[in-house]
Structure 1
Amino acid sequence: MMSQKGVGTGVVATSVVATEKIIIGVDPGTQVTGYGVIMIKNQQISLVQYGVIHLSKYSTHELKLKKIFERISQLIDEYLPDEMAIEDPFFGKNAQSMLKLGRAQGVAMAAALSRGIPIVEYSPKKIKQSVTGNGNATKEQVAYMLENILKMELSREFMDATDGIAIAICHHYHATAPASIGGGGSGKKAKKGGWGAFINENPERLK
């Protein structure tokens, strides 16, 4: 945003550029999908919203995908993010689990793409490394570091929601990565490897 102050007959005396960006981070799952929305203003991070999408009550995988798409679309319409950051697909031994989680990620991405929002993918290890300095950090360690970064207390009831925040902050920290896959947008992409261990560490995320 450009702010100008006129002097005399309109000569510009000063100009101040204030940078502002809203990022939505999404932690996709077929039982619980977490999300976090942050605002970056003059390099200062503030939390806008975070929460989870509960999916276990839906009887079919198709209904779960529909709910993810609808809720992520609602969040995008409400908070108008400039970019989306999302955990990237993993490569594990359970092909069925990979397929289901990949679909969950895909519909979240589709919600962003349908509104022209650039998408960025990060591995869980990269996200943990960015936030805590340790790619093998626990969820509790990630949440603790997020509280230090945001200077506020976060609920431990929905750890998948704090994961969503971590993904968004990771993207902010890697804002100079190569160009994104997003539809003509100015987002970034920093996809680093797979996350086969994720499925073993989080079996409750998949049906």
Structure 2
Amino acid sequence: MRVIGIDPGLAITGWGVVESAGDHAHMVAGGVITTVAGTPLAQRLQIIYRELTVLIDRWQPESAAIEELFFGRNVTTALTVGHGRGAAMLALANADLPIAEYKPLEIKQAVTGYGGADKQQIQQMVKLLLNLEEIPRPDDAADALAVAICHLHSARLLSL
């Protein structure tokens, strides 16, 4: 199964494509889509949508996974990230990909076995689980790979 994982944002949207074969998974590709602050919102959303559409066409995932929003009291941050998340979800939906959404706690548990894991622990496990020589950079790409790994674990459990 080939999955594209998305760590949504307006300034930086992380993406990672992971493929599983049996009990093993490997990274196919990963990176970030960036938009420049000060650019009109509609143009920034268009960049996310268009670039993600190109990535989907290039890497041909069978399904998609995206991180759900979680922001305590910062409504402005939630709205900003929500815009980018919406553009990403539209690109995934227009590609007719099944989309799974995961809470940050679910992703941490799936990747590290511990819901209170910090960013470095998650990145270290992404490196180990995908048998990489180094932690993927930037952080947003590693986070997107963690989302994809979470989905592979969930899909594996559902098939039991």
TM-score normalized with structure 2 length: 0.90
1:125 and 1:63 map into 2 onto residues whose CA distance is 32
Q: Report the 3-state secondary structure (helix = DSSP H, G, I; strand = E; otherwise coil) of the residue aligned with 2:141.
A: helix
Aligned residue number for residue 64 of structure 1: 44
1:124 and 1:87 map into 2 onto residues whose CA distance is 7
Shift of 1:156: 5.3
Shift of 1:58: 5.5
1:29 aligns with 2:29: no
Shift of 1:60: 2.1
Deviations 1:121-173 (A, max 9, x none): 00111101111112121221111111111111234540110000000000011
Matches within 5 A, 1:1-207: 21-56=1-36, 59-155=39-135, 157-175=137-155
Distance 1:152 1:119, change over 3 A: same
Amino acid in structure 1 at the alignment position of 2:151:
H
Q: Report the 3-state secondary structure (helix = DSSP H, G, I; strand = E; otherwise coil) of the residue aligned with 1:175.
A: helix
Aligned CA-pair RMSD: 1.8
Deviates more, 1:137-146 or 1:71-80: 137-146
Shift of 1:97: 2.3
Shift of 1:43: 3.2
2:54 and 2:138 map into 1 onto residues whose CA distance is 20
Q: Point out where structure 1 has 5 or more consecutive residues left out of the alignment.
A: 1-20, 179-207
Deviations 1:48-87 (A, max 9, x none): 0011112235622222211110111111000111111000
Deviates more, 1:81-90 or 1:153-162: 153-162
Q: Is the 8 A contact 2:126 2:135 kept in 1?
A: no
Larger Rg: 1
Distance 1:80 1:157, change over 3 A: closer
Q: Point out where structure 2 has 5 or more consecutive residues left out of the alignment.
A: none
Q: Which has the higher contact order (CA 8 A, sep 6+)?
A: 2
Distance 1:171 1:157, change over 3 A: closer
Number of aligned positions between the proteins: 158
2:142 and 2:45 map into 1 onto residues whose CA distance is 21
TM-score normalized with structure 1 length: 0.71
